[in-house]
Amino acid sequence: MKTYKIAVIAGDGVGPEVLAEGIKVLNKVAELDGTFAFEFTHFPWGCEYYLETGKMMDDDGIEQLKKFDAIYLGAVGAPGVPDHISLWDLLLRIRHDFDEYINVRPVKLLDGAPCPLAGCKKGDIDMIVIRENSEGEYAGAGAWLYKDQPNEVVLQTGVFSRKGTERVIRYAYELARREGKSLTSISKGNALNYSMVFWDQIFAEVGKEYPDVETHSLLVDAASMFFVKNPQRFEIVVTSNLFGDILTDLGAAISGGMGLAAGANLNPERKFPSMFEPIHGSAPDIAGQKKANPLASVWSASQMLDFFGHEDWGAKLIDVIETVMREAKVLTPDMGGTAHTDEVGDEVVRVPRRWPLNAILSETPILNTGAPRVVPVPRLLFHAGGAQGREGHCAAGDRQKNTVILG
For 142-181, the pLDDT digits (tens) are 999 999 999 999 999 999 999 999 999 999 999 999 999 9
Q: Which of 246-260, 271-285, 309-323, 350-364 has the lowest mean pLDDT?
A: 350-364
CATH 3.40.718.10 fits 126-254, yes or no: yes
Res 270 pLDDT > 80: yes
Cβ–Cβ < 8 Å for 120, 254: yes
Helix and strand tally (H, E) in the chain?
Answer: 14, 14
At residue 54 the predicted structure's pLDDT band, cuts being 50, 70 and 90, is very high
Per-residue model confidence (pLDDT) at position 377: 43
Strand 262-266 versus strand 126-132 pairing type: unpaired
Q: What is the mean pLDDT of residues 374-388?
A: 37
Judged by average pLDDT, the poorest of 10-14, 202-206, 400-404 is 400-404
Computed over every residue of the chain, the mean pLDDT equals 89
CATH architecture type of domain 1-112+260-354: 3-Layer(aba) Sandwich (3.40)
Higher pLDDT, 374 or 157: 157
- pLDDT band per the 50, 70, 90 thresholds, residue 355: low
pLDDT of residue 66: 98
- In the predicted structure, residue 128 carries a pLDDT above the cut 90: yes
Residues 230, 223: Cα–Cα separation, whole Å: 9
pLDDT tier for residue 306 given thresholds of 50, 70 and 90: very high
Residue span(s) of the chain under CATH 3.40.718.10 come to 1-112+260-354, 126-254
Answer whether residue 87 shows pLDDT above 90.
yes
- For the segment 22-46, what is each residue's pLDDT rounded down to a tens digit? 999 999 999 999 999 999 999 999 9
User: Does 357 have pLDDT greater than 50?
Assistant: no
Q: How much of the chain, in percent, has pLDDT values that exceed 70?
A: 86
Going by their DSSP bridges, the two strands 136-145 and 102-108 should be labelled as unpaired
Beta strands 126-132 and 102-108 are antiparallel
Q: What angle do CA 70, 364, 270 make, to 5 degrees?
A: 20
Predicted local confidence at residue 352, as pLDDT: 76
**Segments in 122-190 forming alpha helices (H):** 162-179
Query: Residue 265's pLDDT is what?
Result: 98
Instruction: Please list, residue by residue across 242-257, b when 16 or more beta carbons sit within 10 angstroms of its beta carbon and e when fewer do.
Output: bbbbebbeebbbbbbb
**Cβ(97)–Cβ(35) under 8 Å?**
no
Give the pTM. Answer: 0.86
- C-alpha radius of gyration, the chain, whole number: 23
- Burial string for 272-292 (b: 16+ CB within 10 Å, else e) reads bbbbbbbbbbbbbebbeebbb
DSSP per-residue string spanning 276-296: EEE-S---TTTTTTT----HH
DSSP conformation letters of 244-260: HHHHHHHHHHHTT-GGG
